[in-house]
Structure 1
């Protein structure tokens, strides 16, 4: 490559590299590698220690090693499966190389007396130590010098390590000839004593012989830390810049309201707002009174009263002559919101409409006409709200519940329903999945975060126990006892399969089993396959006390409020995440009676599953549970970002690297003010097309 290649060379597609045709490019695309720059940021997962050639007599089972010797014997062994066996010796011991896949010519190449160097995992075999399918160098004059630390990359089908190493060698040559600009602020480089970009990338791809394996793989190695900080900064800048752009370029309607509806609403509530609810309501009211679009995330534990805060925001919007859209991820939760908002707002003269994908054609047409004409002031629904034919007359506020469950394109589509050249709707996002502070600082850098950190008075603590399913009959007896005392119970069925049909069948079978075992009890059933009307009827019957035990799939995870339910049994809890289990448990303990949750697990439990259930037994604090869930499962699960592709970090780890988030946040603010061009370039380097996802 010519030495005068300009910096844009690194932005060229990988097809510009030698040996990358259409098929190879497709494989690289599967790894998220589109450009030469992407290839340079595709870092090794680990390294193979080939720094020295080991004597055969030193080798131990379970270790990977580079060794060499002279072929003593090569033969094809027959049996249930033929294999090529090659006996290697070096004077200190013997080693058998085993090949299940081989060509006849391979036996000739490994003739007696041939010098061989090989690398692989050493195992115990029938005739002593062996390596199965080692990497081979045949006919080498061994000087005892190793190959150093060899990188092992994340790969995909059809793309081997040697191909990735050859391509990376080319990319590193381009990097040396076309050095990219140094975009990391000098203040951060000094604070953390970080090397330059080229040195860092080269060190991680092709470490020098003087670096130890342990030091190189540690997150605090200067080269690795350099790239971790740069990636965190790029992602943080992405969200900050999008927030800044939205607030600068798009004005929102000023929704101050006159207070008539909000006062009537709070006066009619059978309880007084908690101090936390009142605080968050003041924060949202101040946001909505501004020309800058509100972008506020309201976090609150299960049962903390987020929906009341959303209702107050919706009423403020209606008082200002605008419409509100309220979206939930499941039919059941959306229906629950619809019932709540209808019961709360219609007595105040506010028209509330339900919009679902399952509505009859005539009913749907009337709902759409009411929205487009402005006759409906509040619309509640699922993803049906952002279909093309749905039009709002004057959309002023979008409320999204359990935001992380929606695909990013869906959230973007709903927000743009109210977008025009003149106005952008305010956004209020609610989640009952508490996000630890360090993660929220990074993942929601484009949002203002409010926390409802106080439960309403009268909530009783829930005692949680873990019981093996071999004691199922005892658990049924406990259910019968609780119901005999006038209380109600949930029995939640989970399956590994995501299939609605299988989930429904499991719940139906369990309901039959309970009815046979406890004939004196009234057993109800609700699952995702039921028609909306049947589901609604089952839930209403349970809420009215006409059903003693409600057998359900995890569809009752959110949005169901039955204060008389004091016992919950969750089958196979080891199959669910901590946050989901905590949400399910939050369905009980809503009244004054002492409440219990039984985790009916299938033994034996893995160490991880045992640790997770222990967390649930020990804590009822959603934020503490979320922190532990983050440690166990990682941010992708907690934020639901696997579906969006927007938060697949290459080097950084939001849990491990949490100490870096605060300084990165400060640097991002300075960089946007002092060096906006560098900020854009850094975003392009690390985030690329995923940057647009931050718009939601």
Structure 2
């Protein structure tokens, strides 16, 4: 067996009719260079031209095919050229076909009484239902009522290569598919257990659905061909992560084995005792560090579960053995807080902590860079740690907080700063975004996973209430009472400035409204456009209770810790996902005082927004919320797969296809144990050179 489908797969595109140097260059820009790339250029959707809809049955927002006659034609030039074709059918209803880009010869074809078939999305225009730029063709009278017998695939539009041209090229490439004996990579015995079609048959069924295949089957992923391709794609990504893990685990790393006494001074100074979950995770980390191979561990813990203390103990272990530890955070606000925390903890123990962030001037950076190069044991910073000017002396532990907020290349570049032929750095990933187990099985197959599933004692549950924006004055009155009792309040907005397009209260407008409604109360404004020095001053004033109400954008979502803050108001909560709402709510309830979260929403609520808010009212269990978020929005936000460089899925959907994951794991284990060359071929087929970026 040869990887990547064998020789047929690697044939260049110029074997196809219509592919010259210019077209090949355009396709190459999109990563399409061979027949195999076209086979896997799966449709982005399908059009149902198997039936003709009557005009009186059309529904807004849905796409439909109609067979109509031209009733009238109107050409206008009010703001830009426009061609409006009024059509009708035997239901006596009318529909407008509207074109903004057309030629004179095209307009001349629309003669009254002429029969045509049009396909497009139905929308509401100024005079009734309309389709804007529908696809259409004129038909002969004898062809009336005769439809296609199968769904039409829709391919993406590539600059210089239209969707129709790409479809023709895909169909040509499919005619050159080799036999199943060369295409199929899953062994026959395993394939029989799966009860799914072979790979070649599944490809054909997606590119050219059989008669009777419905849109619902394909869109829901229930079609056997969809399940077959989704399973293999999930398998490929899972295998690439497993192989990456095996490769990294085979590298050497300096074993770190320090006695319990190395942690005693630190633990004695902590104002709290570690929870059982924290102690368990620390032992997981210590076991990893002893092996002589790089640690690759993800620590999940709900908001406020104590991940920073666990990270500190991991750093202490490495530092006690003479190595350097680096902690990278996604925002300067969070990085500064980590730096303060580590200084409070480490400097009394005689351990130097160096802070590095992009906001520092060249002159301010010289000393931190010098200290890092000289071997400063603990380094905290933002993405600035990955810049070429940063050189570590002996980087042995890389810790990344909320890693999904970084681009993949950024995370790799920090790890690479500690890479050498003799040793690789240990890696510890921290996240307060609980990842559902099904998602973690696939997305974090290259990492060992520890969960801090216990909150420190003294944390109070947060009561969550949802209120319409129209009750803002009532909320401000409540806030006034809270502040008189000595409590502090977060007031979070989703925009910095007013927008005419989005009905959301801006931070600036909210600040003015809240400040006006709270005379005698200290109110401050914080958002991304505030200068770094001013941002630090404001946060310090809030932490010291000089500022009582902090009006802010979601910049305070992650990591900000002010135990006296017991109220969280979130404007336009309907615009945020569950994971983000949960993170924001986690900023309160960090002390012994009863805490409240007020979700202000703009009515009317969509069904999804209503469900999200109801979930927030009913539970504060981060993992349950993550499961709901996965079901409602898919995995993109949880995993950060929108980051540039992350490997996307062509056909699989981690939320929709979660039920396939047990079979994926079973097949993966068998391939790695019994058919390693097939495992390589599956990865090459779907992931290829992008495997380095599959997860970092």
TM-score of the superposed pair, with normalisation by structure 2: 0.89
Residue 552 to residue 632, structure 1, CA distance change in 2 (3 Å): same
Match of 1:135, SS state, is strand
- Which stretch shifts more, 314-323 or 572-581? 572-581
**Contact 1:115/1:140 (8 A) holds in 2:** yes
**Contact 1:45/1:151 (8 A) holds in 2:** no
Match of 2:450, SS state, is strand
- Which stretch shifts more, 137-146 or 426-435? 137-146
- Which stretch shifts more, 527-536 or 280-289? 527-536
State the shift of 1:120 in Å.
5.5
Residue 450 to residue 13, structure 1, CA distance change in 2 (3 Å): farther
In the alignment, which residue of structure 2 is the partner of 1:394? 394
Residue 568 to residue 6, structure 1, CA distance change in 2 (3 Å): closer
Aligned length: 681
**Contact 1:523/1:549 (8 A) holds in 2:** yes
Taking the aligned partners of 1:105 and 1:145, their CA distance within structure 2 comes to: 27
Taking the aligned partners of 1:556 and 1:337, their CA distance within structure 2 comes to: 14
In the alignment, which residue of structure 2 is the partner of 1:317? 318
- Correspondences of 1:517-596 after superposition (within 5 Å): 517-596=517-596
Taking the aligned partners of 1:187 and 1:323, their CA distance within structure 2 comes to: 50
In the alignment, which residue of structure 1 is the partner of 2:408? 408
Match of 1:148, SS state, is coil
Taking the aligned partners of 1:511 and 1:66, their CA distance within structure 2 comes to: 51
In the alignment, which residue of structure 2 is the partner of 1:61? 58
1:445-495 deviations in Å (ceiling 9; x for gaps): 000010000100000000111122222111111111011112111122221
State the shift of 1:604 in Å.
2.9
State the shift of 1:347 in Å.
0.9
Taking the aligned partners of 2:350 and 2:124, their CA distance within structure 1 comes to: 79
- Which stretch shifts more, 96-105 or 658-667? 96-105
In the alignment, which residue of structure 2 is the partner of 1:244? 246
Taking the aligned partners of 1:26 and 1:32, their CA distance within structure 2 comes to: 10
**Contact 1:65/1:121 (8 A) holds in 2:** yes
Taking the aligned partners of 1:128 and 1:521, their CA distance within structure 2 comes to: 54
Taking the aligned partners of 2:105 and 2:527, their CA distance within structure 1 comes to: 62
State the shift of 1:671 in Å.
0.9
- Correspondences of 1:137-216 after superposition (within 5 Å): 137-139=138-140, 141-142=142-143, 146-156=147-157, 159-176=161-178, 180-209=182-211, 211-215=213-217
State the shift of 1:371 in Å.
1.6
In the alignment, which residue of structure 1 is the partner of 2:334? 333
Residue 214 to residue 337, structure 1, CA distance change in 2 (3 Å): closer
- Correspondences of 1:609-620 after superposition (within 5 Å): 609-620=609-620
- Correspondences of 1:5-44 after superposition (within 5 Å): 7-14=6-13, 16-21=15-20, 24-25=23-24, 28=27, 33-44=32-43
In the alignment, which residue of structure 1 is the partner of 2:221? 219
Taking the aligned partners of 2:87 and 2:360, their CA distance within structure 1 comes to: 73
Taking the aligned partners of 2:596 and 2:124, their CA distance within structure 1 comes to: 51
Taking the aligned partners of 2:236 and 2:425, their CA distance within structure 1 comes to: 27
**Contact 1:44/1:151 (8 A) holds in 2:** no
- Correspondences of 1:274-285 after superposition (within 5 Å): 274-285=275-286
State the shift of 1:364 in Å.
1.9
State the shift of 1:108 in Å.
7.2
Match of 2:599, SS state, is strand
Taking the aligned partners of 2:218 and 2:552, their CA distance within structure 1 comes to: 50
The answer for unaligned runs of 5 or more in structure 2 is none
Residue 350 to residue 228, structure 1, CA distance change in 2 (3 Å): same
Residue 671 to residue 515, structure 1, CA distance change in 2 (3 Å): same
**Contact 1:84/1:107 (8 A) holds in 2:** no
- Correspondences of 1:244-323 after superposition (within 5 Å): 244-248=246-250, 250-323=251-324
Taking the aligned partners of 2:600 and 2:368, their CA distance within structure 1 comes to: 44
Residue 522 to residue 19, structure 1, CA distance change in 2 (3 Å): same
Match of 2:398, SS state, is strand
Taking the aligned partners of 1:238 and 1:279, their CA distance within structure 2 comes to: 29
Taking the aligned partners of 1:574 and 1:130, their CA distance within structure 2 comes to: 30
The answer for unaligned runs of 5 or more in structure 1 is none
- Which stretch shifts more, 599-608 or 438-447? 599-608
1:658-684 deviations in Å (ceiling 9; x for gaps): 111122112212212222221111111
**Contact 1:351/1:377 (8 A) holds in 2:** yes
- Correspondences of 1:669-680 after superposition (within 5 Å): 669-680=669-680
Taking the aligned partners of 1:391 and 1:49, their CA distance within structure 2 comes to: 58
**Contact 1:185/1:667 (8 A) holds in 2:** no
Taking the aligned partners of 1:412 and 1:148, their CA distance within structure 2 comes to: 50
**Contact 2:151/2:213 (8 A) holds in 1:** no
**Contact 1:460/1:594 (8 A) holds in 2:** yes
- Which stretch shifts more, 581-590 or 547-556? 547-556
Match of 1:400, SS state, is strand
Taking the aligned partners of 2:29 and 2:437, their CA distance within structure 1 comes to: 33
Residue 319 to residue 151, structure 1, CA distance change in 2 (3 Å): same
Residue 363 to residue 534, structure 1, CA distance change in 2 (3 Å): same
Taking the aligned partners of 1:461 and 1:694, their CA distance within structure 2 comes to: 37
1:539-580 deviations in Å (ceiling 9; x for gaps): 222222222212222222222222221111122222322211
In the alignment, which residue of structure 1 is the partner of 2:451? 451
Taking the aligned partners of 1:84 and 1:597, their CA distance within structure 2 comes to: 52
Match of 1:597, SS state, is strand
Taking the aligned partners of 1:47 and 1:432, their CA distance within structure 2 comes to: 38
**Contact 2:184/2:200 (8 A) holds in 1:** no
Residue 147 to residue 27, structure 1, CA distance change in 2 (3 Å): farther
1:348-372 deviations in Å (ceiling 9; x for gaps): 1111111122224344222222221
State the shift of 1:98 in Å.
4.6
Provide the aligned C-alpha RMSD in A.
3.4
Residue 460 to residue 30, structure 1, CA distance change in 2 (3 Å): farther
Match of 1:625, SS state, is helix
TM-score of the superposed pair, with normalisation by structure 1: 0.89
**Contact 1:459/1:591 (8 A) holds in 2:** yes
Residue 95 to residue 19, structure 1, CA distance change in 2 (3 Å): farther
Taking the aligned partners of 1:395 and 1:135, their CA distance within structure 2 comes to: 63
1:392-428 deviations in Å (ceiling 9; x for gaps): 1111111110011011001000001110001000000
**Contact 2:542/2:550 (8 A) holds in 1:** yes
Taking the aligned partners of 2:482 and 2:263, their CA distance within structure 1 comes to: 40
1:290-313 deviations in Å (ceiling 9; x for gaps): 111100000000000000000000
Match of 1:428, SS state, is strand
Taking the aligned partners of 2:44 and 2:295, their CA distance within structure 1 comes to: 41
Match of 2:610, SS state, is helix
Taking the aligned partners of 1:559 and 1:97, their CA distance within structure 2 comes to: 54
Residue 118 to residue 430, structure 1, CA distance change in 2 (3 Å): closer
The answer as to 2:438 corresponding to 1:438 is yes
**Contact 2:566/2:588 (8 A) holds in 1:** yes
State the shift of 1:689 in Å.
2.6
**Contact 1:149/1:213 (8 A) holds in 2:** no
Residue 11 to residue 519, structure 1, CA distance change in 2 (3 Å): same
Residue 109 to residue 455, structure 1, CA distance change in 2 (3 Å): closer
- Which stretch shifts more, 252-261 or 189-198? 252-261
**Contact 1:94/1:129 (8 A) holds in 2:** no
- Correspondences of 1:490-501 after superposition (within 5 Å): 490-495=490-495
State the shift of 1:115 in Å.
7.1
Taking the aligned partners of 1:292 and 1:102, their CA distance within structure 2 comes to: 65
